[in-house]
Amino acid sequence: MKKRILISLFLIVGLLYLGALQTSPTPLTDPNWQKISSQGQPLGPWQGPWACIFDKRQQLFWETKTDDESIHDGNWTYSWFQNGIGKENHGDCYFEDKRCDTDDLIRRTNQQQLCGQTQWRLPTQAELLALKQTQDRPGQIAITTDYFIHMKHGDYWSSTHHQPLSGIFGHLKHGAVAVNMTDVSAVTLPYRNAAFVILVSEASSAP
């Protein structure tokens, strides 16, 4: 009788141990990405907060979006405007006296020297498209959301511009390319449209 009880106890303990192993969280590690602090210091996979993501494949720093109503808040939108081309102040944000455009975010982020970088800019169409990743989480955008937080289902401006418009926007002649993060696909939009923005900066050296 005692032997049966001992065997039963061993079986129960063994099952509990196996269950604990199966429910242990998988370490958040990805060789392509590195979290970076606002001062430019590398962080471990489980450390935070992080202000940038270093893209080891493209050798780029990506801005991390926030939800704190700072200039990096992921809810703000911008019209496309750079070097006198495009449409000024047709987006929505709280950090400008007037409404926002892409040049406003670029200027302020470079002034801030986010993550120690001073060459922040709009990503190219190719750089944005290279973020695409197969998503196994229902309802999530098609990039690595463990690192790229507070990103939206919607269009993100690229630097690729002076592209011909067609259809209902044909009379506006030209616009810029945006990439929709739901499926990471490109679309040409009028400069006046309000779209999301995530900035990049070239890396002078790897962190």
Is 156 inside any structural domain?
Answer: yes
Q: Which is nearest to 119 in space by CA: 179, 169, 57, 59? A: 59
pLDDT of residue 28: 55
Q: Which is nearest to 151 in space by CA: 114, 121, 195? A: 195
Burial zone of 56 (CB within 10 Å; 0-12 exposed, 13-18 middle, 19+ buried): middle
Is 15 inside any structural domain?
Answer: no
Is 114 inside any structural domain?
Answer: yes
How many independent structural domains does the chain possess? 1
Amino acid residing at 69? E
- pLDDT truncated to tens, each residue of the chain (207 aa)? 444 544 444 444 444 444 443 333 334 567 899 999 999 999 998 999 999 999 999 999 999 999 999 999 999 999 999 999 999 999 999 888 889 999 999 999 999 999 999 999 999 999 999 999 876 677 889 899 999 999 999 999 999 999 999 999 999 999 999 999 999 999 999 999 999 999 999 987 677
Is 13 inside any structural domain?
Answer: no
Stated pTM of the model:
0.84
Distance CA 199, CA 140 (A): 21
Q: Which is nearest to 102 in space by CA: 86, 113, 114, 125? A: 86
pLDDT of residue 21: 36
Token readout for 3 is 């032997």
Distance CA 189, CA 165 (A): 7
Is 2 inside any structural domain?
Answer: no
Distance CA 192, CA 176 (A): 10
pLDDT of residue 74: 98
Distance CA 116, CA 51 (A): 10
Is 11 inside any structural domain?
Answer: no
Q: Which domain holds residue 174?
A: 32-202
Residue 201, CA distances (Å) to 17, 71, 107, 134 in order: 47, 17, 13, 25
**SS3 call for 103:** helix
pLDDT of residue 29: 62
Is 131 inside any structural domain?
Answer: yes
Is 12 inside any structural domain?
Answer: no
Are the beta carbons of 128 and 55 closer than 8 angstroms?
no
